[in-house]
Each structure stands twice: as C-alpha cells, then as structure tokens.
Amino acid sequence: MAVDITLLFKASVKTVKTRNKALGVAAGDSAKDELLKRSAARCKSDFTSRAREVISHIGKLKDFLLQHRKDYINAYSHIMSEYVRMTDTERDQIDQDAQVFMRTCADAIHLLRTEAHKGVQSAQVKEHRSAVLDFIEDYLKRVCKLYSEQRAIRVKRVIDKKRLSRLEPEQSNVSTSPLSPEKSSLNPFDDSEEKLSAEETKDRNLPDAQSNVGLWGDGKGEDELSPEEIQMFEQENQRLVGEMNNLFDEVRQIEGKVVEISRLQEIFTEKVLQQETDIDNIHQLVVGATENIKEGNEDIREAIKNNAGFRVWILFFLVMCSFSLLFLD
Amino acid sequence: MAAGIREKQTVALKRMLNFNVPPVKNSTGEPVWKVLIYDRFGQDIISPLLSVKELRDMGITLHLLLHSDRDAIPDVPAVYFVMPTEENIDRMCQDLRNQLYESYYLNFISAISRSKLEDIANAAIGANAVTQVAKVFDQYLNFITLEDDMFVLCNQNKELVSYRAINRPDITDTEMETIMDTIVDSLFCFFVTLGAIPIIRCSRGTAAEMVAVKLDKKLRENLRDARNSLFTGDTLGAGQFSFQRPLLVLVDRNIDLATPLHHTWTYQALVHDVLDFHLNRVNLEESTGTESSPAGARPKKKNKKSYDLTTSDKFWQKHKGSPFPEVAESVQQELESYRAQEDEVKRLKSIMGIEGEDEGAISMLSDNTAKLTSAVSSLPELLEKKRLIDLHTNVATAVLEHIKSRKLDVYFEYEEKIMSKSTLDKSLLDMISDPDAGTPEDKMRLFLIYYISSAQVPSEIDLEQYKKALMDAGCNLAPLSYIKQWNLFSRVMNTGSQFVMEGVKNLVLKQQNLPVTRILDNLMEMKSNPETDDYRYFDPKMLRGSDSSVPRNKNPFQEAIVFVVGGGNYIEYQNLIDYVKGKQGKHVLYGCSELFNATQFIKQLSQLGQK
C-alpha cells in the first residue's frame, strides 16, 4: 500500500524555508522571473487550451445524448405515458443535430492535428501532441458509438412495430364484423402474442378478414354500386393495402440490414486504410530497391571496364619488359 | 491472498498512474493525459506488468527514462516512479528548476529518507515550484513480479546481491550489511503490497538467518508505530479471507547447489536455460538462410527477434511447465485447430456468394448477416492466435536446435539418474570424454552435480582422472575448486539422500521433490523432520521477541512464501508449482534475490573458485 507523504513534504518545505530565513539565504526568484515564466507557459498552452475546448464540446454532446436517451428509447415501450412522448420528427432532429456536431468536432480535431506540428521543435512534444489528439479522437468515437447504438435500437424497434401494426387493419376489420366478434378478436390477440415472423399466419388472417368483410358487404348492399362491385373494390383495397404494407415492411428491413452492413463496412474500411499505409511503405522500399539495383549495375559495369583496361595495361607492361630484356644488352 | 501478487502489484501501479486515486470504470470518461518518467528500476518493475497499450489506456502519452534528455512539455502533469537515490533526486531537482512540466506527482519505489525529502523541498523552493509538486508517495513496490506467484528482487544491480557477492570469502561486514539491507527492504515492500504479516522460519547459521532477523526487526518496528503502521486499515481487510497468516520460509542457496546446474526438460526452464530470457522477454537470433554465400560477399546478417511471453499468452500459461515433447505436440494441435477455423471462415465466404441472390426469407438473410458479423469479429482473435502459434513455433524450434546440438536430453536423463541414485548405465568418464555431446560447460555441470550428490568423496585417483578428462574437453576447473571448499564446510547437508522417486519413464520428469520443496512441505504441514526441526521461528506480531524454535501454531499453513537468498531458478519454481497442484487449497509464492540460469551460475562459481 502506498503511503502519502505529501504532508511530510510540505512540512519539510516549511522547515527548509525557516532554515533558509535563519541562514539569511535569498528566498527564491523575484516576482519578475515568475511573470516571465507564466507568460511563456501561457503562449505554449494554446494547443492545450484548444484541445480542452474540443473535449468540452464532445462532453456537451455526450451529456445531450445521455439526457434524451431515455426519452428516445422509452417511448417505444408498449406502455405509453403521457409526458415523455417524443415524436419522430424530434428524434430525426436529434439525429441530425448529433451528426452535424460530430462532424464539426472531427473537423476541429483534424485542424488541430495539422497545426500541432507547426512551430514545435522537439520530437517529444510532437509525440505527446499526437498522442493527445489520438485520445480525443478515441473519446469522440466512443460518444459516436453511443449515438449509433441508440439509432440501431430505434430502427429495430420500428421494424418490430411495423410487424405488429400489420395486424391492426385486420384487427379493425374483424372487430366491426358482428358475425364472429369474439373469435376474431381473439385471433389477432393470439397472433400478437406469438412470434410474428411467419408470413403464413398473416396470410391466413387476411383471407379471413376479407371473407368476413365480404359477407358483411353482401349483407348490407348499397344503391349506387352493386354488391358484387363493392365486394370487388373492397377486395382490391385489401390487396393493395397488403401489398403496400409488404413493401413498407421490406424497406424497413432493408434499412436495418443496411445499418448492419454499414457497421461492417466501417470495419473493412479501417482495415483497408491500415493496409494502405503498409502498401505505401512497401512501395517506397521497392522504389528504393530498384534504384539501388540500378546503381549497382552501373558500378559493376564500371568495374568490368576498369578490370579490362587494367589487364590491357598489365599485358602491355609485360610485353615491354620482355622486349626490353630481349633487345637490351 | 487469493489474488496473486501480480494482480496486487498491477493494481497498485494503475492506481499510482491515476494520480493515486482508485481508477473509476467509466467507458465514456474524458481523456486525461500525463507523462510517465521512470528510472531503470521502475522500468524493470513496470515492463512485465503493463504493456505499452495498457499504459496508453491509462492516459500516458509519453514514457521516458529519468536520465535521458527530456524537453519541456508545459501544462502536462508528470508522474515520476523512481528509486530515492542521490542521482535520481538531483535529476528531479534539476527538472523542477527547469520547469519541464506543469505538475509533479512523485512516487518513490521504496521509502525515501527525510533528508532527501528536504533536498527536494529545497529545490522546489528555489524554483518557486512548491505548488507544482502535487503529491509525494512512497509506493513500496521494490520488487519485480514475473508470474502470478513468482517474484525477483531486482534486475539492475544483480551483482550486488548475487550468490557470489554473498558467499565471497573476502567480504567485509559492512558490505554484508548493505546487501542484507537491500534484500530486507525489498522483502518488506513485498509484504506491504501483499498486506499480510508472515511467520518467518529460516535455517540456522546462514545468510538466510541474517535476513530473517533483520526482516523481523523491521516488521516489528513498523507494527509498533501504530500511527503510521502500514498494515492496518483497508490493507488487512482485503487480505483476511483466510484467517491464517502466511508462512515465509527463508532458505539459502547453499542447501542445494545441484538444482541450478541441472539440465532441465520443462518448457519455461528450457527457454531460460538455453535462450536469452529476461523479465518475460526472450531474444532469438535467427539466421536468414543457410546457403553458402559466394566468396567476397558480405556475411548474412542475423535477425534478432524478441518475443514477450506474458500472462495473456494462453498457450504459454498452459504449457510452460510441461515437458518439451508435449509442448511440440500441443503446438501442432493448435496449428491444426487454427487451420480448421480459417477454413470455416473461407467456407462462409462461398456460402454468402450462393445465397445472396435469394431474397425471399427474411430470417435466412439476417442469419447470413449475423454469420458474417460474427466471422468478422472473430478475425482479430484468429490473427492473435496465429501470431502466438508463430511465436511458439519459433521459440520451440530454437530450443530444439540447441537440444539436438548439445544432446541435452542425454544429459537430463543422466543427471536424473545421478540425483536419484539409480544405477548409471554409462560411466561418467565416458560421458565427459564424449566429443559431440554438449559444450564443455554442460560437461562441467554434469560433473559438478555428480560431485555434489555423491555420498562419499570420490577418491583422489578418480578425481584426477575426471579432471584430466574435463581439461581435455576444454572446461575451466575453477568452479570445481570452489565446490570443494564449499563441501568442506557443509558436508553435513546431505542433499543426496532422501529423494523420492515415483515412476520410471524415459524423458518424462519424475515427480521428485527438490530439497527446497521438501523443506517447504515439512514446514507447512508441521511434519517433524530432523532437517527442519531446528529452524528458527520468528513472529513479528508477538510482543516478546523470542528466540524459540518452538512454533506456537500447530495447524498446517495454507499459504507460504519461499524465498531463496542467493538466487533461484525456474526448475525450483516449477517443482513448487507441481507440489502445490497436488494439494488442494494451498498457495505458494516463490521468490529469489536474483534469477540465474546454469551458465550464469557457473560463471559465478568460477569467479569464486579463482579467488
């Protein structure tokens, strides 16, 4: 366990001060030095103050998201309370605002990154600043994750809601028919409690509803339109409603899938970007290697030439020597 | 003490890095950044416990050595983790004067003295930086934890507390005192971090006894000082699920000189023996290609690779104590399972291609997406697994090469036979004069083990024969002279007898207990044994400092810490682990003043023998 000796330290500071006073030693720098020191620190801390601003912005965004999170999600529970209903437009507004905010924060970080390396000499400060910027980006990513989680939940709930709401037209149709009130009112409730994924049950309900309505339509009969025509129109209505609902449903599902795919896409882009830097490195190395090889070839050619020339000279020298030996007495 | 010492030290470090406030789990917390400054001691302590990534997670942007050139990074808090030595203090005062950072959090690895604290205060006043020194702490972390249950005292100044330093014939009293003080200081820090006060037992008349006396005194003084005691409050609360206190067994290296020289067969011990292995990092040299280079070309450069073998490496954790052939098999198995998983992922790709056109059922589509998501998220795991498999394949191959070239398996078998007193089918002389089995050092080790563990001194003629054979093989005879002297002193310690042998399988480690394990067993189970009966008994909590050797507590201990003064190695550690595996609910920690392998030990012995 660590022992906090800060108090001990402060006590020793006091001791030293009194000792210094007793010995008459000058007590520290003058106020002027302090001012100089402070001003120097102030202009260097520009980077830090801006970094802290960005962090406070991101903090505000996070608070905003967390604050409205409950309303955002809660309104989808089947028990709707009076006060905390959020309309869809409000939710869209929140989404939009959050996105704009995130984009501005990302831009600010980018700007800081480009500026951070100007006017700085030491490598350690550079490293420190880039690490600080990494931290801030990480923070932003975490807050964005909050937002995208919320959004994913929302989309999922809408899909489920649409699946449930598919039964509402059948429910309203069947409940008005006096022919089989209890049985038909029981049917949708049962269905809503069971799993809704099977299409067959819905399809079964539709013909039921249609047949009920058809009977009902037959029973009433209007003056202007013949009963058969009314029935046909009703059937066509039902069919169109069903088709529209199908399409709408599929669109919602596709939206959900797209959200998932976009997440996967993010992961892939990250990996591809990482590979990009690697490939750039490899490219540089390969270019360097080709240069080296070219130079190497040149050197080898020179060497061969020199070798050949050297040999010629040696031969010549030897021949001259032998001739001189032969012909000089 | 259910949590290992490693966890406790990591928690203490993380708390220190968080400005000495217990870290709060907050996934969307604002980033706080700081700079970490350490000296070499601090580096050795931190590096086995926290990786660079973990440091980053704690908000550390830069980590620098104290004595390097550091630039001013204003408005950043700096956390210092250093030993309170003169030069470190001077450098810190210099930093204060140069106004390098915004605020300073000073953490000393072991307790700082009052006068040095005043030096810092002086410098702080001189630099008008008193307000900048935010906190000063004594961390009491002066030991290096390598595994969950193994720790070493220090790595930097190993020579000061080495076996050689303690057993030198020309050592002065003051030097001995300083060495003992260093050891006791580290042990004290260890117990402060552990949060428990042990019952100490040690043998008589050895360096271990000196350490025990001093440690007992230090613990006693600390307990008396009720105001500042380090063992009160929350530290005790955490560690008191067991109402028992742990047992500290202090042994001296001299009880068993044969074990550090032994050739071994378990994975971790082999890596330590054969390769360059320090602080959980192994350095391999790989030669890049074995074809003969054309004349005149530059020699091929060897690649140096270093790997970290940590607790997050599951394969290492599982197999570090297993015999080497098992390890090789397991690597193969892991490789196969990895390939199967890879094929699974590839197959998924083809499935996706076929079923992508089918738009009908919703559920099937969502299932595919889910499969894809799970495949993508399992990719990092697969990559990590592959990396580990590569790592261990390389390490195992390197070890295997050494084994093959030096015929270490033969040595191992032979030594086992010597140490367990079964009949030897090849005479020692043959082994030594065999030209292609092992380096001269291996032969020296073999001979020393034989010499140490033989019941009677071999006759002069035999000795001469052996000596001649050893010289022919090229060994240095200095260690032998030292062992002879040592033998004259301590023939009483009959290490050869009393080995228990279970099972006779070739090349599989037999379940025999090394002397250290035996001693621990006796003391923990309160067995009566002539060897351990006259061990001294210290209890720092008792009011009267008694010298009795009668233990007051008659129950067997549940937790024990074995500390070897003079050096230890992985073979003993492995033996202790195996012993504990057989007993339910017992925990044993192993510590030593330094960790050496046989090569280093032989060097120390030869230095001692030359004097």
SS3 letters across A218-284: HHHCCCCCCHHHHHHHHHHHHHHHHHHHHHHHHHHHHHHHHHHHHHHHHHHHHHHHHHHHHHHHHHH
**Would you call B562 exposed, middle or buried from its count of C-beta atoms within 10 A (0-12, 13-18, 19+)?**
buried
Residue B412 CA from chain centroid, whole number: 23
Residue B592 CA from chain centroid, whole number: 8
Q: Which residues of B touch A300 (CB under 8 A)?
A: none
Residue A248 CA from chain centroid, whole number: 28
- The three-class DSSP label of residue B209 is helix
Q: Is the pLDDT of residue B76 over 80?
A: yes
The residue ranking higher by pLDDT, A276 or B230, is A276
Per the prediction, chain A carries an average pLDDT of 76
Q: Is the pLDDT of residue B449 over 50?
A: yes
Q: Is the pLDDT of residue B586 over 70?
A: yes
Contact (Cβ atoms closer than 8 angstroms) between residue A73 and residue A155: no
Q: Which residues of A touch B114 (CB under 8 A)?
A: 8, 12
ipTM of the complex model: 0.70
Contact B62 A5 (CB under 8 A): no
Contact B31 A135 (CB under 8 A): yes
Contact (Cβ atoms closer than 8 angstroms) between residue A116 and residue A129: yes
Q: Is the pLDDT of residue A176 over 70?
A: no
Per-residue pLDDT at A205:
45
Per-residue pLDDT at B175:
87
Structure confidence at residue A295 as a pLDDT band (50, 70, 90)? very high
- Sequence-separated (6 or more) residues with CB below 8 Å from residue B537: B199, B200, B201, B548, B549, B550, B551
Helix-helix angle B598-610:B440-453, to 10 degrees? 70
**High-pLDDT (> 70) share of chain B, %:** 78
Q: Which residues of B touch A143 (CB under 8 A)?
A: 28
Which of B15, B61, B117 has its CB closest to that of A8? B117
Q: Which residues of B touch A48 (CB under 8 A)?
A: 75-76
Q: Which residues of B touch A259 (CB under 8 A)?
A: none
In terms of Cα–Cα distance, which of B90, B99, B45, B37 is closest to B66? B37
Size of interface A-B (CB pairs under 8 A): 137
- Per-residue pLDDT averaged across A91-109, rounded? 85
pLDDT, tens digit (0-9, with 9 covering 90-100), for B155-199: 776 777 778 777 777 888 888 888 888 889 888 888 888 888 888
Q: Which residues of A touch B369 (CB under 8 A)?
A: 257, 260-261
SS3 letters across A150-199: HHHHHHHHHHHHHHHHCHHHHHHHHHHCCCCHHHHHHHHHHHHHCCCCCH
Contact (Cβ atoms closer than 8 angstroms) between residue B290 and residue B265: no
Q: Which residues of B touch A3 (CB under 8 A)?
A: 111, 137-138, 140, 228, 230
Q: Is the pLDDT of residue A7 over 80?
A: yes
Residues B397, B399: Cα–Cα separation, whole Å: 5
- Sequence-separated (6 or more) residues with CB below 8 Å from residue B205: none
Contact (Cβ atoms closer than 8 angstroms) between residue A167 and residue A202: yes
Task: Flag whether residue A16 sits within 8 Å of chain B, measured between CB atoms.
Answer: yes
Task: Flag whether residue A63 sits within 8 Å of chain B, measured between CB atoms.
Answer: no
- Sequence-separated (6 or more) residues with CB below 8 Å from residue A244: none
For B137-161, letters b (16+ CB in 10 Å) and e give bbbbbbbbbbbebbbbbbbeebebb
Structure confidence at residue A182 as a pLDDT band (50, 70, 90)? very low
- CA A253 → CA A147, A258, B179, B510, distances in Å? 20, 8, 74, 64
Least confident interval from A81-85, A283-287, A298-302: A81-85
Phi first, then psi, for residue B193 (nearest 5°) are -65, -40
Q: Is the pLDDT of residue A208 over 50?
A: no
Structure confidence at residue B471 as a pLDDT band (50, 70, 90)? confident
Per-residue pLDDT at B451:
77
Structure confidence at residue A199 as a pLDDT band (50, 70, 90)? very low
The residue ranking higher by pLDDT, B44 or B481, is B44
Q: Are strands B60-65 and B150-152 parallel, antiparallel or unpaired?
A: unpaired
Contact A136 B31 (CB under 8 A): yes
Q: Which residues of B touch A125 (CB under 8 A)?
A: 71, 73
Q: Is the pLDDT of residue B79 over 80?
A: yes
Structure confidence at residue B357 as a pLDDT band (50, 70, 90)? very low
Q: What count of Cα atoms within 13 Å lies in the side-chain half-sphere of residue B354?
A: 4
User: What is the CB neighbour count within 10 angstroms for residue B217?
Assistant: 14
Q: Token pair of B352, please?
A: 């996706």
Residues B57, B168: Cα–Cα separation, whole Å: 47
Contact B193 A8 (CB under 8 A): no
Q: DSSP letters along B10-26, please?
A: HHHHHHHHTTTSPPP--
Contact B73 A45 (CB under 8 A): no
- CA B590 → CA A140, B70, B147, B567, distances in Å? 45, 38, 10, 11
- The three-class DSSP label of residue B52 is helix
- Look at the pTM and tell me if it is higher than 0.90: no
pLDDT, tens digit (0-9, with 9 covering 90-100), for B516-540: 888 888 888 877 777 777 788 888 8
DSSP letter, residue A75: T
What separation, in Å, do the N-terminal and C-terminal C-alpha atoms of chain B show?
44
Contact A4 B137 (CB under 8 A): yes
Residues B65, B77: Cα–Cα separation, whole Å: 16
The residue ranking higher by pLDDT, A291 or B556, is A291
Per-residue pLDDT at A312:
95
A residues 184..243 contacting B (CB < 8 A) = 197
SS3 letters across B214-277: HHHHHHHHHHHCCCCCCCCCHHHHHCCCCCCCCEEEEEEHHHCCHHHHCCCCEHHHHHHHHCEE
Q: Token pair of A53, please?
A: 């601003």
- Per-residue pLDDT averaged across B363-379, rounded? 69
Q: Token pair of B479, please?
A: 């260690």
Least confident interval from A163-172, A249-258, B197-206: A163-172
Q: Is the pLDDT of residue A157 over 60?
A: yes
Least confident interval from B134-138, B351-355, B408-412: B351-355
Contact (Cβ atoms closer than 8 angstroms) between residue B366 and residue B351: no
DSSP letter, residue B605: H
A residues 238..267 contacting B (CB < 8 A) = 253, 257, 260-261, 263-264, 267
Contact B118 A29 (CB under 8 A): no
- The three-class DSSP label of residue B292 is coil
**High-pLDDT (> 70) share of chain A, %:** 71
Residue with tokens 């050891």: B183
Residues A169, A1: Cα–Cα separation, whole Å: 69
Q: Which residues of B touch A124 (CB under 8 A)?
A: 62, 64, 70-71, 73
Residue with tokens 């209505």: A237
Structure confidence at residue A310 as a pLDDT band (50, 70, 90)? very high
Per-residue pLDDT at B235:
45
Per-residue pLDDT at B422:
63
Per-residue pLDDT at A234:
92
Contact A257 B369 (CB under 8 A): yes
Structure confidence at residue B364 as a pLDDT band (50, 70, 90)? low
Q: Is the pLDDT of residue A51 over 80?
A: yes
Which of B31, B138, B366 has its CB closest to that of A3? B138
**High-pLDDT (> 90) share of chain B, %:** 1
Which of A2, A132, A261 has its CB closest to that of B12? A2
- Sequence-separated (6 or more) residues with CB below 8 Å from residue B130: A13, B121, B124
Structure confidence at residue A201 as a pLDDT band (50, 70, 90)? very low
Contact A16 B118 (CB under 8 A): yes
A residues 263..292 contacting B (CB < 8 A) = 263-264, 267-268
Q: Is the pLDDT of residue A174 over 50?
A: no
Choose from A228-232, B317-321, B424-428, B432-436 the range with maximum mean pLDDT: A228-232
Per the prediction, chain B carries an average pLDDT of 77
Contact (Cβ atoms closer than 8 angstroms) between residue B566 and residue B167: yes
Which of A5, A37, A267 has its CB closest to that of B99? A37
Contact B136 A44 (CB under 8 A): no
With vertex at residue A226, the alpha carbon angle to CA A224 and CA A232, rounded to the nearest 5 degrees, is 120
Contact B30 A139 (CB under 8 A): yes
Which of B31, B35, B121 has its CB closest to that of A128? B35
Contact B130 A13 (CB under 8 A): yes
B562 min Cα distance to partner chain A (Å): 22
Contact (Cβ atoms closer than 8 angstroms) between residue B282 and residue B306: yes
Give the CA dihedral B35, B27, A62, A252, nearest 10 degrees.
Answer: 140
- The three-class DSSP label of residue B309 is coil
- The three-class DSSP label of residue A44 is helix
Paired residues of B283 in beta bridges: B276, B306
- CA B261 → CA B329, B444, B490, B501, B603, distances in Å? 27, 9, 18, 20, 11
Per-residue pLDDT at A188:
41
Residues A97, A64: Cα–Cα separation, whole Å: 10
Length in residues, chain A = 329
Residues B28, A140: Cα–Cα separation, whole Å: 9
- The three-class DSSP label of residue A316 is helix
Q: Are strands B587-592 and B559-565 parallel, antiparallel or unpaired?
A: parallel
Least confident interval from A168-177, B16-25, B377-386: A168-177
A residues 129..168 contacting B (CB < 8 A) = 131-132, 135-136, 138-139, 142-143, 146
Residues B289, B607: Cα–Cα separation, whole Å: 38
- Sequence-separated (6 or more) residues with CB below 8 Å from residue B416: B510
pLDDT, tens digit (0-9, with 9 covering 90-100), for B243-300: 578 888 888 888 778 788 888 888 888 888 888 888 888 888 775 444 444 444 455 5
Q: Which residues of B touch A29 (CB under 8 A)?
A: 127-128
Q: Is the pLDDT of residue B590 over 50?
A: yes
